[in-house]
Amino acid sequence: MVTKNPDPGSDSDNHSYANTKQIHTKHLHLELDVNFENRTVYGIARHQMVNNGTDTAIFDIKALDIQKVTTGSIGKEKETDFVIGAWDKDSILGQPLMVKIDAKTTFINIYYKTTEETEAIDWLSPELTTGKEQPFMYTQGEAILTRSWIPLQDTPSNRLTYSASVKVPQGLLPLMSAENPTELNTESVYEFKMDQPIPSYLIAIAVGNLSYKKLGKNCGVYSEPELISSCAYEFGDLPKMISAAEDLYGKYQWQQYDVIVLPYSFPFGGMENPRLTFVNPTVLAGDRSLVSLVAHELAHSWSGNLVTNRSWDDFWLNEGFTVYFENRIMEALYGKEIADILARIEFQELQDELIDLSKSDHPEDTRLKLKLQGRNPDDGMTDIAYVKGAFFLKTLERDLGRERFDGFLKSYFRTFAFKTVNSELFLNYLKKNLLEPNGSNFNAEEWIYKEGIPSNCYAVTSPRLDKMKLLAKRFMKGENIFEQVSYVKIKGKKKKKKKVTRLQRNDFITQEWQAFIRELPETISPELMKKLDAYLNFRNWGNSEVMSEWYVLGIHSGYTELRPYMKKFLNKVGRRKFLLPIYSALMEKEDDKAWAREVFNEAKEHYHFVSKSSIEALFRNT
């Protein structure tokens, strides 16, 4: 049956059909059967609701097969009528599922299965894992994909607790954003519970051949057995990060903090699923040089998971706070010099983003507070939310003083713990508790509601990065930067000894090399690129951040010898942040277009929907 869809946004969230003001889920119990043969999750979603006397409950679904809906608790269930709203293939939101209830109904049970179109789930055949023997699956919920694997009120404005009973094939371990097992059991049915209320985008599951290594009293890492020792090394500082975070903004509220390293197809670097951060193996640089990503996801345990953006228009409240907090954790562990290097790198990305957005269809997206109605909330995932947001807070810290600002943030997290916030609530709280008491006329409104970067923005400098820029400039001028000749005096002798120091990759950290590469002009000749590769081997360096930037520069400069390396990378890594710049650089060049499509057609099988659909959109638009 087809009816006109209701207007989304009944509870100030334009990206959900749910009528949460009338009725909302308080607790969700999931009964799941994860079937790898059919690549299907068979589920029952048992919603325990708070009903303010309505006769219809509206849930969000997308590409789900709804079999029946009942009301009443287990044992007393009665089938009820439901209507699924009109289906539009391009629909971002999916469909409303409208269930007939009565004013007293509090239990609604939805029997369903996922379909081939389910966007949240990535099903991986064994070849796409490290071990190559067992299959793997995981979900990605943020922003609005949870509705494609669970029928629910998919809005961050509502918090719910959840529990689950999950059946998986023998030998595979399921993990959720909940209390987790560390070992297989014989029944292959696992029970989960998340007793603290969370927004729906944080419900997540991963199933695979997984082992666990404890890293501290309340933290550890899961990965395929082959990777576990490198993971344990890479994330060895995790216990210190947790204490540093707690020292800053109050006790960690989720008891356990574990990380799971997923297969390479995971479309993000990291995702802050509570109690179990999901990360992409590209973070395993072997030298801990990319661990700020874990600091970031850990920071979300406060900003995002404890205090949550009420709608996707306020995404900066999740990410901007988190980038700021991440940098504070990095400073606490590794010192101000390193923290400034990281912030400087991010600031440069923000400047590039500002240029891109000013040329785009939505120049107004340089505001922190967004208006994403009718658009994909993914559009808000720019460096505005992340870096402009963080620099807003850095500027506040500079003007009000660190001690006062830290006190303010601590009380903000305490006041809004397990609640949701929007920009207006934050602004009010900021004025009342920080600006007014200190007689400050800080331009907070300008930061939140105006386009661009206000002129009082905190300026971060890094002498070490400046040095790398200089090194790149010298190289471009034709200087031999690879060998440095100096003369050392030898005791008792008249003649000085000639000493040659060779430039090595390990002389500098990842971010310094990024600054070096970014300083090279797009017009650099392929010969010079080749020369750098001969000395430094960027093209095959195991460091994904460096490799991806190197490839983009290589495309611009016409250094086609990179193709085999690039192809290998594109066939292995599914992280959107790396894929998009590479594919879009390729699409800008007539000579590379066909090759880009060819590589994508081969590689797309092992990209998650999130990455695949973004690249397809890029292809459509070029």
Residue 283 in tokens: 């973070």
In the complex, the smallest distance separating the C-beta of residue 463 from ligand BES, rounded to whole angstroms, is 24
Q: What is the DSSP letter of 385?
A: I
* Closest to Zn ion by CB, 319 or 383: 319
Residue 59 in tokens: 């849930």
In the complex, the smallest distance separating the C-beta of residue 293 from ligand BES, rounded to whole angstroms, is 4
269 touches, from ligand BES, Zn ion, none (C-beta below 5 to 8 Å by class): ligand BES
In the complex, the smallest distance separating the C-beta of residue 365 from Zn ion, rounded to whole angstroms, is 18
* Closest to ligand BES by CB, 142 or 331: 142
Question: Would you call 1 exposed, middle or buried from its count of C-beta atoms within 10 A (0-12, 13-18, 19+)?
Answer: exposed
Q: What is the DSSP string of 455-523?
A: TT------HHHHHHHHHHHHHHTT---SEEEEEEE-TT-SSEEEEEEE--GGGS-HHHHHHHHHHS-TT
In the complex, the smallest distance separating the C-beta of residue 299 from ligand BES, rounded to whole angstroms, is 9
Give me the residues that bind ligand BES (CB under 6 A), please: 142-143, 268-272, 293, 296-297, 300, 319, 381, 386, 577
381 touches, from ligand BES, Zn ion, none (C-beta below 5 to 8 Å by class): ligand BES
Query: Catalytic pick from 272, 297, 319, 326?
Result: 297
User: Under a CB-based contact definition with an 8 Å cutoff, are residues 113 and 65 in contact?
Assistant: yes
* Closest to ligand BES by CB, 114 or 548: 548
End-to-end CA distance of the chain: 38
Query: Catalytic pick from 386, 551, 559, 607?
Result: 386
SS (HEC) of 304-371 = CCCEEECCHHHHHHHHHHHHHHHHHHHHHHHCHHHHHHHHHHHHHHHHHHHHHHHCCCCHHHHCCCCC
| CA atoms in the 13 A half-sphere facing the CB of 556 | 16
* Closest to Zn ion by CB, 322 or 544: 322
* Closest to ligand BES by CB, 47 or 310: 310
258 touches, from Zn ion, ligand BES, none (C-beta below 5 to 8 Å by class): none
In the complex, the smallest distance separating the C-beta of residue 387 from ligand BES, rounded to whole angstroms, is 9
How many helices (H) and strands (E) are present in the chain, helices listed first? 18, 23
Instruction: Count interface residues toward Zn ion (CB under 5 A).
Output: 2
Binding mask 298-337 for Zn ion (x = CB under 5 A): ---------------------x--x---------------
577 touches, from Zn ion, ligand BES, none (C-beta below 5 to 8 Å by class): ligand BES
Check if 386 is active-site.
Answer: yes
**Among 433, 425, 429, 430, which residue's Cα sits nearest to residue 12?**
425
* Closest to ligand BES by CB, 378 or 533: 378
Check if 297 is active-site.
Answer: yes
Strand 23-35 versus strand 40-51 pairing type:
antiparallel
468 touches, from Zn ion, ligand BES, none (C-beta below 5 to 8 Å by class): none
Helix or strand run (H / E) with residue 35: strand 23-35
Peptide bond into 143 cis (omega under 30): yes
In the complex, the smallest distance separating the C-beta of residue 240 from Zn ion, rounded to whole angstroms, is 20
Residues making contact with Zn ion (CB under 5 A): 319, 322
Task: Write out the catalytic residue numbers.
Answer: 297, 386
